[in-house]
């Protein structure tokens, strides 16, 4: 990357606001992620979820944020009563349509997870797909606190991320390219060392159409995440690198954290 591009990305990094996620999830960005994950992988993750959450069909689970609902849909097909929350109108509209078409037990809620008030108690919760870290530490306390407050005693939360410090900083990716179906995604990453967040500049190309999106992701160490969960009344009972349950190690690209409500 030449110096002019580096300077431009550095300037853009400092200009990314903390509320970037409010209008990020739309257009080709949403379309790509619906194509990116194979159905078989979703089924493996849901097998893992049902076992680690220690739940049975008929119980109520919270998927927050739920994205386009790949986990909620599969869990609902297995008999669970799902509640999916997301700020993306594109995602929630699509999930609601699928719920109605397939007669699935999924309550869809279009809302910012930081200001959401839930009056229901859940038997388990899931936060998968790198969304754990969209906010600063203080706002993450608010987010996790809201999840913890609506969990029954002994209920569990499963978190999945490829953005914890031990994963992302071991081999920091300055640039990457992916192609899913007819959409190409080019990524340029920068890292703000003083505030410990990564900014990704994404360029999507589909035929003659191009879109650019930018997101900010705060990077927490595993110890910080454990302390955060503990602060919110959740104690960690497992750290894995995949649904196969192998112990998470430094440099593993993904982590699955299982925590239980005290």
**What pLDDT does residue 5 have?**
46
Cα–Cα dist 213/94, whole Å: 21
Q: How far is CA 21 from CA 28, 84, 112, 214, 257, in A?
A: 15, 17, 9, 9, 23
Mean pLDDT, all residues of the chain: 93
According to DSSP H, which parts of 17-119 are helical? 28-36, 39-52, 70-77, 89-102
Cβ-based neighbours of 95, under 8 Å, separated by 6 or more: 66, 68, 69, 72, 73, 84, 86, 106, 108
Share of residues in the chain with pLDDT > 70 (%): 95
Please give the pLDDT value at position 4: 45
pLDDT of residue 14: 52
Which residue reads 């104690």 in tokens? 235
Q: How far apart are CA 147 and CA 153, in angstroms?
A: 12
Confidence at residue 228, expressed as pLDDT on a 0 to 100 scale = 98
Distances (CA, A) of 113 to 66, 116, 139: 10, 5, 10
Q: What angle is formed at CA 68 by the lines to CA 62 and CA 74, rounded to 5 degrees?
A: 60
Quickly list DSSP for 84-98: EEES-HHHHHHHHHH
| Conformational region of residue 182, where left means phi above 0, alpha means psi within -120 to 50, and beta covers everything else | alpha
Q: What pLDDT is attached to residue 7?
A: 46
CA distance 79 to 103: 12
Token pair, residue 211, equals 């879109």
- Report pLDDT for 35: 87
Burial of 191 (0-12, 13-18, 19+ CB in 10 A): middle
Residues of the chain scoring pLDDT < 70: 1-14
DSSP 8-state secondary structure symbol assigned to residue 130:
S
Q: What is the pLDDT of residue 258?
A: 98
pLDDT of residue 207: 93
Grouping H, G, I as helix, E, B as strand and the rest as coil, residue 66 is coil
């Amino acid at each position: 990357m030449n110096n002019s591009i580096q300077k431009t990305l550095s300037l853009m990094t400092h200009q990314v606001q903390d509320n970037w996620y409010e209008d990020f999830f739309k257009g080709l960005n949403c379309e790509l992620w619906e194509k990116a994950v194979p159905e078989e992988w979703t089924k493996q993750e849901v097998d893992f979820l049902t076992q680690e959450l220690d739940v049975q069909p008929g119980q109520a689970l919270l998927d927050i944020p739920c994205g386009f609902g790949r986990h909620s849909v599969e869990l609902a097909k297995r008999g669970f009563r799902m509640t999916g929350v997301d700020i993306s109108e594109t995602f929630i509209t699509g999930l609601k349509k699928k719920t109605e078409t397939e007669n699935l037990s999924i309550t869809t809620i279009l809302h910012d997870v930081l200001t959401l008030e839930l009056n229901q108690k859940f038997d388990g919760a899931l936060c998968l797909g790198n969304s754990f870290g969209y906010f600063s530490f203080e706002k993450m306390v608010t987010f996790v606190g809201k999840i913890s407050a609506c969990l029954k005693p002994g209920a569990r939360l499963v978190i999945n991320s490829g953005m914890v410090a031990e994963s992302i900083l071991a081999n920091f990716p300055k640039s990457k390219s992916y192609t899913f179906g007819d959409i190409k995604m080019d990524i340029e990453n920068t890292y703000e060392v003083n505030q410990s967040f990564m900014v990704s500049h994404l360029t999507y190309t589909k035929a003659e159409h191009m879109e650019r999106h930018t997101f900010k992701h705060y990077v927490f160490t595993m110890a910080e995440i454990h302390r955060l969960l503990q602060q919110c009344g959740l104690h960690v009972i497992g750290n894995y690198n995949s649904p196969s349950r192998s112990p998470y190690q430094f440099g593993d690209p993904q982590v699955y954290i299982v925590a239980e409500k005290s």
